């Protein structure tokens, strides 16, 4: 184990040199502040999840983003934001779309890994979008919810080169190992994909 010794020392030296040269905004201590910048999507309002409910990352450099996972909350918009802000809940999504007016909240930066899919391999490679509603209440899936969500999904697909098809824009229930049923049988996939394509 002799070899291991010089390496940390060297790494520390390099890290010290890098920090000395780094602009102030890149220092680790300012990272939390940097996360409160503007949302990734122009129509979104920033409602950050608790830092205990997602994994910081540097996507797409650290992990490619290959999927959009579509969810339905089974709770109100306000309740869902509260869940994401509760450190004991251990759950989050990147975005939440409100039923009544298509209001869009961003809760986790796209570069970070939200905990929404129930499958780590899919969490690291996806953007999770929650929709306010219940799987057995199709009335929650309003025109404006579909339209706003489709515009968001289209922009995510364009940004990361994700094909706009059902192999890449998937339901939570399609994530391997998932025991969830959302977005349920009333989610109109044909309509949604058409809107994504046109956005
Ligand atoms: Zn879900």
Q: What is the pLDDT of residues 133-159, one digit of tens each?
A: 999 999 999 999 999 999 999 999 999
Query: What's the CA-to-centroid distance between 183 and ligand 1, angstroms?
Result: 7
Please answer whether residues 119 and 177 qualify as being in contact, where contact means their C-beta atoms are separated by less than 8 angstroms: yes
Query: What's the CA-to-centroid distance between 71 and ligand 1, angstroms?
Result: 4
Query: What's the CA-to-centroid distance between 31 and ligand 1, angstroms?
Result: 29
Share of the chain above pLDDT 90, in %: 81
Residue 6, pLDDT above cutoff 70: no
Query: What's the CA-to-centroid distance between 24 and ligand 1, angstroms?
Result: 38
Identify the three-state secondary structure at position 46.
strand
Query: What's the CA-to-centroid distance between 94 and ligand 1, angstroms?
Result: 12
Query: What's the CA-to-centroid distance between 32 and ligand 1, angstroms?
Result: 27
Query: What's the CA-to-centroid distance between 89 and ligand 1, angstroms?
Result: 14
CA distance 51 to 86: 9
CA distance 22 to 101: 43
Query: What's the CA-to-centroid distance between 104 and ligand 1, angstroms?
Result: 17
Residue 153 confidence (pLDDT): 98
In sequence order, the 6+-apart residues with CB closer than 8 A to the CB of 95 are 41, 44, 104, 105, 106, 107, 127, 128, 129, 130, 152
The fold adopted by the segment(s) 36-198 is: Lysozyme-like (3.40.80)
Q: What is the pLDDT of residues 12-22, one digit of tens each?
A: 444 434 444 43
Pairing of strands 54-55, 113-114: antiparallel
Query: What's the CA-to-centroid distance between 5 and ligand 1, angstroms?
Result: 46
Query: What's the CA-to-centroid distance between 13 and ligand 1, angstroms?
Result: 45
Query: What's the CA-to-centroid distance between 11 and ligand 1, angstroms?
Result: 41
Share of the chain above pLDDT 70, in %: 81
Work out the average pLDDT over 79-88: 98
Beta-carbon count within 10 A of 91 CB? 18
Residue 38 confidence (pLDDT): 85
- Strand partners for 95: 106, 129
Please answer whether residues 133 and 100 qualify as being in contact, where contact means their C-beta atoms are separated by less than 8 angstroms: no
- Of 25 and 195, which is predicted with more confidence? 195
Residue 31 confidence (pLDDT): 47
Residue 36 confidence (pLDDT): 57
Strands of 32-125, DSSP E: 45-46, 54-55, 67-72, 95-97, 104-106, 113-114
CA distance 173 to 189: 14
Band (pLDDT 50/70/90 cuts) for residue 24 is: very low
Domain boundaries, the chain: 1-34, 36-198
Lowest average pLDDT, out of 30-44, 87-101, 138-152, goes to 30-44
Query: What's the CA-to-centroid distance between 147 and ligand 1, angstroms?
Result: 19
DSSP one-letter code for 49: P
Band (pLDDT 50/70/90 cuts) for residue 113 is: very high
């Amino acid at each position: 184990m002799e070899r291991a010794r010089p390496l940390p020392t060297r790494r520390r030296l390099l890290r010290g040199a890098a920090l000395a040269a780094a602009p102030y905004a890149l220092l680790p201590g300012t990272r939390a502040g940097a996360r409160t910048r503007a949302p990734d999507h122009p129509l979104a309002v920033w409602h950050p999840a608790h830092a205990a409910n997602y994994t910081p990352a540097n996507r797409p450099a650290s992990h490619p983003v290959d999927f959009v996972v579509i969810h339905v909350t089974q709770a109100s918009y306000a309740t869902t934001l509260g869940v994401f802000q509760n450190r004991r809940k251990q759950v989050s999504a990147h975005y939440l779309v409100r039923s009544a007016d298509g209001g869009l909240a961003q809760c986790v930066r796209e570069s970070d890994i939200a905990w929404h899919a129930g499958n780590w391999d899919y969490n690291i490679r996806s953007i999770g979008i929650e929709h306010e509603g219940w799987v057995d209440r199709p009335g929650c899936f309003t025109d404006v919810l579909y339209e706003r969500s489709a515009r968001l999904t289209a922009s995510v697909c364009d940004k990361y080169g994700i094909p706009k098809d059902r192999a890449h824009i998937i339901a939570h229930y399609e994530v391997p190992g998932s025991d969830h049923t959302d977005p349920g049988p009333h989610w109109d996939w044909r309509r949604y994909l058409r809107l994504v394509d046109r956005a």
